[in-house]
Amino acid sequence: MSPIVIGVLASGGGTNLQAILDSVDAGRLSAHVAVVISNNSTCGAMERARNRAIPAIHLSRATVASEEELDRAVLDALKDHLVQLVVLAGYMKKVGPQTIQAYRGRILNIHPALLPAFGGAGMYGRRVHEAVIASGASVSGVTVHLVDENYDHGPVVAQREVPVCAGDTAETLAARVLGQEHVLYPQVIQWFAERRVRIEKGQVRIDE
Ligand code: GRF
């Protein structure tokens, strides 16, 4: 089976992008990262893409006139690079309706908690981990889910638990969670590469 062609949307450091690239290099993931798109031209994810000669495209409200045009430009870039699976890896913008429509069931996001808990608008970065710690929960984790029109809302594809330890700060918990993100995300993308993921009645099924 040919490697799945993925487009990564990212705004930050890009460690999940790196984990994906490393998994491809190690032969654990049959994927080709065809394009990286970011609203932040100087972020770590864009650097990592440029270092590997992966097309790194800056698209934001600074480069286009409206949200609608941004959506169109993102969709065009994905199509131009023949992207089959869209991977959000720390992307801080909401994906537009045209892109969601065109790639429904084929857009993944990773969230650093066990959704539906600690998700939704405004729940990103250290705020997620602060909220987990403040709640007194003893377990947090990672969620990979399909993206729909609402923040952190689409069907869950996979989750992995991560313990919350006594004395954790948002930083120590974030680091422990991020370590598991780097394991889970490439694994889930590999399921897509193996064409094992089906959606039945709004639920994700992974074929054995
Ligand atoms: C990760 O914690 C991810 O769960 C969240 O944004 C962060 C991105 O980190 N959506 P990185 O840019 O991949 O290092």
Q: How confident is the model at residue 1 (pLDDT cuts 50, 70, 90)?
A: confident
Residue 128 Cβ contacting ligand 1 at under 6 Å: no
Q: According to the model, what pLDDT value does residue 202 have?
A: 87
What average pLDDT does this structure show over 84-93? 97
Position 151 scores a pLDDT of 85
pLDDT at residue 33 greater than cutoff 90: yes
For the record, the structure tokens of 52 come out as 């590997």
User: Mean pLDDT across the stretch 150-178?
Assistant: 96
Distance 16 CA to ligand 1 centre (A): 6
Lay out the sheet containing 4-9: strands in order across.
Answer: 56-58, 31-38, 4-9, 85-88, 107-111, 139-146, 156-163
Instruction: Give pLDDT, residue 189.
Output: 98
pLDDT higher than threshold 90 for residue 45:
yes
Point out the catalytic residue in the list 111, 129, 145, 182.
111
Distance (Å, rounded) from C-alpha 205 to C-alpha 122? 29
Average pLDDT over residues 183-200: 97
Whether 107 has a pLDDT exceeding 90, the answer reads yes
Quote the distance between the C-alpha of residue 147 and its chain's center: 9
User: Which residue from 23, 115, 181, 182 has its CB within 8 A of the most atoms of ligand 1, so it is best to mutate?
Assistant: 181
Cβ atoms of 82 and 5 within 8 Å: the answer is yes
Within its chain, how far is the Cα of 102 from the centroid? 17
Instruction: Supply the residue whose CA is at minimum distance from atom 8 of ligand 1.
Output: 90
Catalytic (active site) residue 111: yes
> How far is residue 17's CA from residue 4's CA, in Å, rounded to a whole number?
15
User: Strand runs (DSSP E) across 81-153, as ranges?
Assistant: 85-88, 107-111, 139-146
Mean pLDDT, residues 82-88: 98
Distance from Cα 90 to the centre of ligand 1, integer Å: 4
